[in-house]
């Protein structure tokens, strides 16, 4: 990417998009275009078409999406498939119509089959059934990958796809009704500490294994791949290591300084047993994660603990 290139970051207010904006700015890129949801509804084809025709960006990071945790994914199934399909279809199509040099589509590790072999290789896409609770979201993200590949095949567009693992970091969502596991644990332990609650309840058995990547590492990987990856298919972005939910809860307990008990509600769903990314393809391009889990969570907690998770 040229320093003066016009770069559109879709979803710049979210955890992913804001991290990408910070990385671009750190790299000396100043011609960054952003629009908030009230300013531009990417679900609206006419509005998206007008935006691309007017701004004509050179590069696009497609990080805009409707996202949520296990409750939200399972409850708002229609919203998740409709809104994500509309957002990505409009952005990808109008990037093509307006001759965008390169587009990067950001997906999610939930695209892989529920019982796929571990670690998850890029080749495992569409080889089995998905996790039922987030199938609509996963179907939308798979469609985005295939759409990028289709526009590459038919029109020669340099549209690429990356699949980050579970992310955490600045601008995360701490609403317990629709947040992911790590921010939910941070809020639960912090509030239990503040109120001197005797116990913290964690959903499920604590046995599922999850991988966590700091958003700043994810953004650095996207920045790097935008300049070094130009192929069909997808690239996993992760750290290549996972941790059980129980051990994660114990780590968050330690970082927050909570002294009470940990209780697991086994009547609640566990979700996918394990989701570890195979990152050998990413490593082959010359990029590796730098922020350790304890270092990253500590940094996040120190930055938000005085803001009451608002």
> With b meaning 16 or more CB within 10 Å and e meaning fewer, what string describes 203-224?
bbebebbbbbbbbbbbbbbbbb
Binding site annotation covers 106? yes
Binding site annotation covers 180? yes
Binding site annotation covers 296? no
CB 120, CB 275: distance < 8 Å = yes
Binding site annotation covers 270? yes
CB-neighbour burial class of residue 6 (10 A; exposed 0-12, middle 13-18, buried 19+) = middle
User: What token pair was written down for 200?
Assistant: 């913290």
Binding site annotation covers 187? no
Q: Which of 8, 96, 112, 137 is catalytic?
A: 137
Binding site annotation covers 57? no
For residue 126, the SS3 value is coil
Neighbouring CB atoms inside 10 A of 127's CB total 12
CB-neighbour burial class of residue 232 (10 A; exposed 0-12, middle 13-18, buried 19+) = middle
For residue 260, the SS3 value is coil
Binding site annotation covers 275? no
Binding site annotation covers 188? yes
Binding site annotation covers 91? no
The stretches of the chain forming alpha helices (DSSP H) are: 15-26, 45-55, 70-75, 77-97, 135-155, 181-195, 215-228, 245-256, 280-284, 293-304
Binding site annotation covers 164? yes
Binding site annotation covers 15? yes
Task: Look at the block and give the residue holding tokens 């340099």.
Answer: 158
Binding site annotation covers 141? yes
> Angle at the Cα of 98 (from 36 to 59), degrees rounded to 5?
60
Binding site annotation covers 1? no
User: What token pair was written down for 50?
Assistant: 């007008």
Binding site annotation covers 28? no
137 catalytic residue (yes or no): yes
Binding site annotation covers 127? no
Given the DSSP bridges, would you call strands 209-210 and 243-244 parallel, antiparallel or unpaired? Answer: antiparallel
Active site residues: 137
Query: Residue ranges for the binding site?
Result: 11-17, 106-109, 141, 164-167, 180, 188, 203, 210, 270
Query: Residue ranges for the binding site for NADP(+)?
Result: 11-17, 106-109, 141, 164-167, 180
Query: Residue ranges for the binding site for substrate?
Result: 188, 203, 210, 270
């Amino acid at each position: 990417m040229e320093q003066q290139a016009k770069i559109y970051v879709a979803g710049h207010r979210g955890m992913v998009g804001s991290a990408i904006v910070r990385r671009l700015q750190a790299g000396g890129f100043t011609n960054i275009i952003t629009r908030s949801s009230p300013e531009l509804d990417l679900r609206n084809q006419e509005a998206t078409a007008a935006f691309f025709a007017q701004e004509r960006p050179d590069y696009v990071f497609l990080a805009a999406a409707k996202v949520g945790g296990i409750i939200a994914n399972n409850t708002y199934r229609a919203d998740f498939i409709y809104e994500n399909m509309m957002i990505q279809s409009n952005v990808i199509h109008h990037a093509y119509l307006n001759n965008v040099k390169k587009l990067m589509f950001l997906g999610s590790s939930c695209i892989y089959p529920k019982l796929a072999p571990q670690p998850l290789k890029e080749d495992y896409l569409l080889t089995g059934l998905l996790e039922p609770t987030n199938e609509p979201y996963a179907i939308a993200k798979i469609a985005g990958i295939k759409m990028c590949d289709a526009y590459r095949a038919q029109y020669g567009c340099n549209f690429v796809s990356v699949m980050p693992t579970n992310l955490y970091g600045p601008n995360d969502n701490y609403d317990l009704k629709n947040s992911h596991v790590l921010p939910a644990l941070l809020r639960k332990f912090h509030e239990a500490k503040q109120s001197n609650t005797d116990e913290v309840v964690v959903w499920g058995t604590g046995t599922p294994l999850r991988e966590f990547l700091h958003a700043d590492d994810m953004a650095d990987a996207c920045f790097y791949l935008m300049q070094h990856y130009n192929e069909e298919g997808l690239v996993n972005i992760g750290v290549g290591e996972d941790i059980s939910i129980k051990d994660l809860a114990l780590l968050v307990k330690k970082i927050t300084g909570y002294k009470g008990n940990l209780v697991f509600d086994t009547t609640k769903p566990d979700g996918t047993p394990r989701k570890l990314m195979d990152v050998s393809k990413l490593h082959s391009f010359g990029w590796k994660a730098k922020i350790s889990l304890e270092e990253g969570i500590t940094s996040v907690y120190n930055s938000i603990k005085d803001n009451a998770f608002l």
